[in-house]
Structure 1
Amino acid sequence: MLLKEACLENFTDLPQAIHHGANRIELCDNLAVGGTTPSKGVIAEAAKYCHENKVPLIVLIRPRSGNYVYTDTEIKIMEADIFEAQALGADGISFGALTPDNDLDLEVMEQLSAAAGGMQLVLHMAFDEMNFDQQKQAIDWAVNTGFERILTHGGPLSTSIDQTSAHLKELVAYAAGRISILPGGGITAANAEAIATDLGVSQVHGSKIVDLTAE
């Protein structure tokens, strides 16, 4: 069965998303800018509802919009948000930090991974800022560090997933079952099954991954 991870802004649509078949939730705020960390109150209520319905909750850890090169203060904020997400019952976190030349910032990533204390770890679409050689190294690092999956569009979000599917297949092939490649961006309830079959993946991600208007 295809696992559908619904990317939701705030708590508002969460009950409907689960009712219509979302198997996992990624919770964020400010989707218009690609998502930022949601508030403590939203995380607490979402975790309670998700757990009542046996659906895992992943919380986006991103202190602001823009690039993924963070200052020391921003890293402290992210670390504090990870501690809070865990205390409030989140099952995992989605995050990413890069160096100025768009390579994975291993020092920051290791610090934040350690703060997660056993929660599921997801490398988010900061991954798409890297070139293919950097991505392969990031996959190897994520495997060795215990990450569950990598969320990727396979290219810039301004490019349709039809055009990035060839690269997504390269990533799936390189990961070779060691870590899940989670495609996202432009995947909807209407095309999820076809895209998953084409890419050979068992899970997909999106803000429209389930039809919230269905009965």
Structure 2
Amino acid sequence: MENFTMIPKAVAAGANRIELNDNLAVGGTTVSHGVMAEAAKYLNEKNIPLVVMIRPRGGDFVYNDTEIKMMESDLFLAQELGVDAVTFGALTRNNELDKEAMEMLIGAAGGMEIVMHMAFDEIPVAKQQETIDWLVDHQVSRILTHGGPLSVPIEDHLAQLQQTIALANNRIDILPGGGITNINAEHIATELGVNQLHGTKITGILK
């Protein structure tokens, strides 16, 4: 969901977990303190888990030390506000997992559930097995993935998503997302054998 406005509508339409972002046009960034606080309060009362995007800007996922500090600060805030889970990802210039940055961010998450977001899709396929192994070893719960470039429909990435699910081998949840709607959700879930999907239109177009 972008900002707070659509959250009550998504809940009413049957969403059973909410990911909160700002700036969905650039793939999502961290919302303001006020928005995060209000969303956490509202969803805690409804017993619906809140996942908050931790991303200081659009663009790539290669972060400098100042940006990592910003992300750590947002993680401490999310923890303080009672957020259930956080989603982030940091890469090197070679599009491999930035393990040093990830360790710092995981440390700052302090007990919140951690989701690796679609930065995973930038990692070369040949490096994805070792990436999954590292994420499992560092108690990351889920990987959000489109299976390839977002410019290509998710239906064309089903073979890659099946491979990722096989590599995960039930050690970490693989959460398909990007271009999933109430129209294609059932087909994708059946094809992949998954029981959770991610998307802004899974419950239909909210008005």
Query: Normalization by structure 2: what TM-score?
Result: 0.98
Q: Distance in 1 between matches of 2:188 and 2:9?
A: 23
Alignment pair present for 1:202 and 2:195:
yes
Shift of 1:64: 0.3
The match for 2:153 is: 160
Are 2:34 and 1:41 aligned?
yes
Partner of 1:184 in structure 2? 177
Aligned length, in residue pairs: 207
- Structure holding more strand per residue: 1
1:60 paired to 2:81:
no
Identity %: 60
Q: Report the residue type matching 1:26 in the other structure.
A: E
In structure 2, what residue type is equivalent to 1:175?
A
State yes or no: 1:144 paired with 2:140: no
The residue correspondences of 1:101-180 to structure 2 (distance < 5 A) are 101-180=94-173
Cα distance in structure 1, aligned partners of 2:42 and 2:51: 13
Q: Which has the higher contact order (CA 8 A, sep 6+)?
A: 1
The one-letter amino acid of 1:174's match is L
Aligned to 2:197, the other structure's residue is in SS state strand
TM-score, normalised relative to structure 1: 0.94
Instruction: Kindly indicate whether the alpha-carbon contact (under 8 Å) linking 1:16 and 1:212 is maintained by their aligned counterparts in 2.
Output: no
Distance 2:181 2:128 in 1: 25
State the secondary structure of the residue aligned to 1:205. coil
| 2:73 matches 1:80 | yes
In 2, distance between residues paired with 1:20 and 1:159? 27
Aligned counterparts of 1:71 and 1:47: Cα–Cα separation in 2 = 29
Structure 1 residue 133: Cα displacement: 2.1
Provide, for residues 53-91 of structure 1, a one-character-per-residue CA deviation record: whole Å limited to 9, x for no partner: 110001000000000000110000000010011111111
Distance 1:213 1:114 in 2: 36
Select the residue among 1, 13, 16 that pairs with 1:23. 16
- Whether the 8 Å contact between 2:6 and 2:206 is mirrored in structure 1 is no
Q: Which amino acid aligns with 1:83?
A: F
Q: SS at the partner of 1:26?
A: strand
5+ residue gaps in structure 2?
Answer: none
In structure 2, what is the Cα distance between the partners aligned to 1:118 and 1:40? 20
CA deviation digits over 1:22-53, x for unaligned, max 9?
11011010001100000111111101111111
Shift of 1:213: 4.5
